[in-house]
Each structure stands twice: as structure tokens, then as C-alpha cells.
């Protein structure tokens, strides 16, 4: 195995290689740093490094193995973390000039769990300002480019994270997702991502405004980004659990997936909708993926929960505005957030919609749907996000429409794994696209196990041409 092949291996294989002393933590760290030095200038995914402390941590991990100490499941794996998540002693900006010099004194709970499992954090990855865009650029660090085609976006807001995973700059990553911020860049960069059920992974330490990180945002979740579905399972096991202050009395026991093959699974598909049309070439790959599941023995129907696309998107819009209002300027945040009474009414509506989804899932194990309406698109930072335009199937539409399939799932708090399903035309080597695999609330392991099986059928992660 060449150095590049090693650095692009899935995290679970890297962890096994470290434990078996086939490679040292320090060798992995040095390899990632050399790869970042060589390739990151063109991609601009990694924006902050903490090399000296990481070297100490990697050497300590290797010494622990040499002594025969008990080690965690991520022992010695060097990783980067999205710059909107606090890591003790490493600058965390949230992509905002207001936090250009902010150095947290404590880890976000999720980061603490990764470190306790043995991971060594050595850097931070780029985000849009306050994670408020689905392209990744800001005034501090500039624009992050897609390793499949540097003229195109990585998606966002965890765009630096997904690009770093795709390009082999890190063992894995952790992002955040309120409107698709794990799933969009996973789709755009050809990697795996998991939006877990709401509340499964603590989100404290998330910086979406000055003074942020001490409370939870509605809809928002932390989720892993990796080069294999098996990594998602590994990382979910490390990250899932109640907030530290609740762990005194509460525990989380996610049900295991009760299947080992696709045969017999009841799968619904919602692959296109007149309210939000999907690029025809991408839609053809989605249908081919659904057909592949059917060929493997799954019972696949063109069926989805009894909600309309417009109804679901309207609910998402009304629920997300209060959640993101702290990151907006004071002059507009109160107006966009609306009243608490209006939110309570929307919460009652959401409860009714959740019940419809839950009832539908009594007859189906999974739902397949698009991640976006298009593959990674050319960089477009002009004006405000609502004013940007894109062409889908020869029809001009709002660029903001492209992410509506993400809100469909996020607003009801369901787990969704994104898996790469192939390449569409674009760039020199094609552009990757992904598919959402949605499971019932708290059945995160079902979504992840299905992603592993789809991975086996479709061939999954491919190395970007860069």
C-alpha cells in the first residue's frame, strides 16, 4: 500500500493498522501534514494547524501502544474538526471575523468524546460565516474548492470538512447540520455523511454567533463525515450519548439494525418532485441505485410519507428561522425569528407531521431521496443567497431551492446517511453525487447499516482526481 493509499483508507482500517502497529500515529500525522502542504493550497480546506501539540499527542499514543496500555477505538488517529466546533487550545472562528482570535479553553462535548476514544486533533477546516451558507467561503480564510473540480463548491457549511476527508487530509471529520451542512458537502465531495436523529449527539460548543456554544439550536445536529459507511457506524458509537450534565442519570441505547442484507427490506423512494425538480442525469443515478437495491432483494416502491413537498418545506422554513436567528444581524434577527407563540404553533404542526412519518415507517424500513437537486455547482458568491440562480433541467431556479430535500428530513429530526452513488458529467473526471438513506427516529444504526450495504453494492468512495 502506497502512502497516499494509506492516507485515503477508511478510518476503521487506519485504527486497526495503528493498533496492530502496522503504522504509527506519528507516521499518519506526518503523512497528513505533508499531504496538506502539497495539496491544500489548491483546495483551502484546512485553515488552522496545531502541529506541535498534535506531534506530542501522536507520540504519546504510540508510547501507550508500546507499553501495552488499553486503547480506545480511535487510538492515534489524527483528525481535523470543523471550525464552527470548539477544540481546546485551537483557534475556533465559526468563519467570522468577530472570532478571529478566539481560542476555546474547553472542548465541545463531541470533541471530548473523540479525544477520549484516542483521536488526536491537529487542525480546523473551513466554514462559511456562522455556518450560514451552503457554499464555503468567508472573509477570514477565503474560498474552499472542491477536490473534484476546483472551480466548483464543496457545499457547506461543513465544506472544508468534507473536502479534507475526500482529499485525504484527515482520518475523518465531524460537522454540523441544520439545513444540510453535513449532507450537502458529503454529496458534493463524494464522501459519506450522517445526520443523526436530533438530540443523539451533543451540540454544545457550536459557534454560530459571538457567545454561542452554550445552548442547543433547534434542528441542528453534529454528525460524522468519512470515507466509508463503516466509519459512520464506528463514529456514531463514540459520539452518541446525552450531554455530560445529563449523563449522570440518562443513557442512550440506540437500537441495532436487525438486518444483515438488503434482501427483504421495505424501501420507499421519493426521488423527484414537481415542487423541487432534480437534475435529470442525477435522478437517473438515483433510480439506478434504487434498482440496485431491488436487484439485491429489497422491496422497493415509489412511495413516501403522506406529506406534500410544499407543506414540509414551509414547515422547515418557519422552524429554521428562529434557530438561525442568533447568527443574523440584530437589525433583522428579531423580525426573521418571529414570535415565540408562532414557534409554538409550528411546533404543534411539526408534532403532527412527525406522527405521519412515524406511521409511514411502520410499513417501510427506509426512504431513499436526493441530497440536493444538482451536483456541485460553480462558485457563486454574488449578492445574498436568495438572489442567486441556477439552471436545473434547462429551467432557471433559485439556488436556494437546491437544498430543499435536506430540510424535508431535518425538520422532523430523522437520521439520514448520505452515500456516494456515482458520477455525473462535469469537470475533467465527472462530479460525485450522493443519496440520502432516511430511517425512523432514533433508528440511526438502521440508516448506517443500510449505507454499508449500499456501499458494497455501488462501490462508494472514489479518490478525487486532484
d(CA 147, CA 132): 22
- Nearest C-alpha neighbor of 460 from the set 292, 272, 265, 234: 292
**Domain 266-458 = CATH 3.40.50.300:** no
Q: Which residues pair with 299 in a beta bridge?
A: 266
pLDDT surpasses 80 at 123: yes
Predicted confidence band at 385 (pLDDT cuts at 50, 70, 90)? confident
Element containing residue 151 per DSSP (H, E): strand 149-153
**Domain 3-239 = CATH 2.40.10.10:** no
d(CA 406, CA 179): 6
pLDDT surpasses 70 at 368: yes
Fold equal for 3-239 and 266-458: yes
DSSP-derived secondary structure letter, 210: T
CB 198 within 8 A of CB 223: no
Which residues are known catalytic residues? Answer: 82, 157, 181
Q: Which residues pair with 192 in a beta bridge?
A: 226
| Whole-number pLDDT of residue 2 | 67
Residues in contact with 334: Cβ distance below 8 Å, sequence separation at least 6, in sequence order: 325
Domain extents in the chain: 3-239, 266-458
d(CA 212, CA 180): 20
DSSP-derived secondary structure letter, 402: G
pLDDT surpasses 80 at 460: no
CB 153 within 8 A of CB 128: no
pLDDT digits over 392-435, tens only?
999 999 999 999 999 999 999 999 999 999 999 998 889 999 99
CB 145 within 8 A of CB 23: no
pLDDT digits over 48-70, tens only?
999 999 999 999 999 999 999 99
Average pLDDT, rounded, for the chain:
95
pLDDT digits over 433-452, tens only?
999 999 999 999 999 999 99
Predicted confidence band at 337 (pLDDT cuts at 50, 70, 90)? confident
Pull the grid cell for residue 89.
487550545
| Whole-number pLDDT of residue 326 | 81
d(CA 180, CA 221): 10
d(CA 277, CA 275): 6
User: Does the model's pTM come out above 0.95?
Assistant: yes
pLDDT surpasses 90 at 334: no
Among 21-25, 334-338, 384-388, which is the least confidently predicted range? 334-338
| Whole-number pLDDT of residue 338 | 82
- Nearest C-alpha neighbor of 293 from the set 262, 324, 339: 262
Amino acid at each position: 500500500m502506497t502512502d497516499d493509499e494509506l492516507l485515503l483508507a477508511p478510518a476503521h482500517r487506519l485504527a486497526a493498522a495503528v493498533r496492530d502497529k502496522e503504522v504509527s500515529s506519528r507516521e499518519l500525522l506526518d503523512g497528513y501534514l505533508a499531504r496538506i502542504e502539497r495539496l491544500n493550497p489548491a483546495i483551502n480546506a484546512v485553515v488552522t494547524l496545531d502541529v506541535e501539540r498534535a506531534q506530542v499527542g501522536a507520540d504519546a499514543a504510540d508510547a501507550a501502544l508500546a507499553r501495552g496500555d488499553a486503547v480506545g477505538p480511535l487510538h492515534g488517529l489524527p483528525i481535523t474538526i470543523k471550525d464552527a466546533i470548539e477544540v481546546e487550545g485551537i483557534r475556533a472562528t465559526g468563519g467570522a471575523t468577530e472570532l478571529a482570535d478566539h481560542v476555546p479553553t474547553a472542548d465541545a462535548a463531541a470533541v471530548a468524546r473523540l479525544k477520549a476514544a484516542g483521536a488526536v486533533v491537529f487542525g480546523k477546516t473551513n466554514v462559511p460565516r456562522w455556518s450560514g451558507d451552503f457554499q464555503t467561503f468567508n472573509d477570514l480564510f477565503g474560498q474552499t474548492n472542491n477536490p473534484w473540480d476546483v472551480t466548483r463548491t464543496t457545499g457547506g457549511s461543513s465544506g472544508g470538512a468534507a473536502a479534507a476527508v475526500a482529499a485525504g487530509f484527515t482520518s475523518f471529520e465531524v460537522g454540523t447540520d441544520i439545513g444540510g451542512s453535513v449532507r450537502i458537502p458529503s454529496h458534493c465531495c463524494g464522501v459519506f455523511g450522517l445526520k443523526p436523529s436530533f438530540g443523539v449527539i451533543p451540540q454544545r460548543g457550536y459557534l454560530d454567533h459571538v457567545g454561542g456554544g452554550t445552548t442547543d439550536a433547534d434542528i441542528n445536529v453534529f454528525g460524522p463525515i468519512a470515507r466509508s459507511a463503516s466509519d459512520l457506524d464506528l463514529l456514531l458509537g463514540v459520539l452518541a450519548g446525552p450531554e455530560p450534565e445529563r449523563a449522570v442519570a440518562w443513557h442512550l441505547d440506540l437500537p441495532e439494525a436487525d438486518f444483515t442484507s438488503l434482501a427483504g427490506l421495505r424501501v420507499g423512494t421519493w426521488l423527484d418532485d414537481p415542487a423541487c425538480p432534480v437534475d435529470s442525469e442525477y435522478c437517473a443515478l438515483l433510480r439506478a441505485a434504487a434498482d440496485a437495491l431491488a436487484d439485491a432483494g429489497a422491496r422497493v416502491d415509489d412511495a413516501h410519507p403522506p406529506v406534500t413537498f410544499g407543506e414540509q418545506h414551509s414547515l422547515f422554513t418557519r422552524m429554521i428561522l428562529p434557530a438561525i436567528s442568533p447568527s443574523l444581524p440584530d437589525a433583522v434577527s428579531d423580525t426573521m425569528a418571529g414570535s415565540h407563540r408562532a414557534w409554538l404553533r409550528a411546533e404543534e404542526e411539526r408534532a403532527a407531521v412527525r406522527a405521519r412519518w412515524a406511521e409511514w415507517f411502520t410499513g417501510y424500513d427506509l426512504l431513499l431521496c436526493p441530497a440536493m437537486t444538482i451536483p456541485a455547482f460553480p462558485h457563486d458568491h454574488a449578492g445574498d443567497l436568495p438572489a442567486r440562480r441556477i439552471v436545473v433541467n434547462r429551467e432557471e431556479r433559485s439556488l436556494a431551492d437546491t437544498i430543499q430535500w435536506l430540510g424535508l428530513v431535518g425538520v422532523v429530526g430523522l437520521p439520514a446517511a448520505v452515500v456516494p452513488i456515482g458520477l455525473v458529467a462535469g469537470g475533467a473526471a465527472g462530479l460525485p453525487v450522493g443519496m440520502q438513506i432516511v430511517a425512523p427516529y432514533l433508528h440511526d444504526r438502521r440508516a448506517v447499516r443500510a449505507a454499508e450495504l449500499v456501499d458494497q453494492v455501488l462501490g462508494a468512495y472514489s479518490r478525487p482526481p486532484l
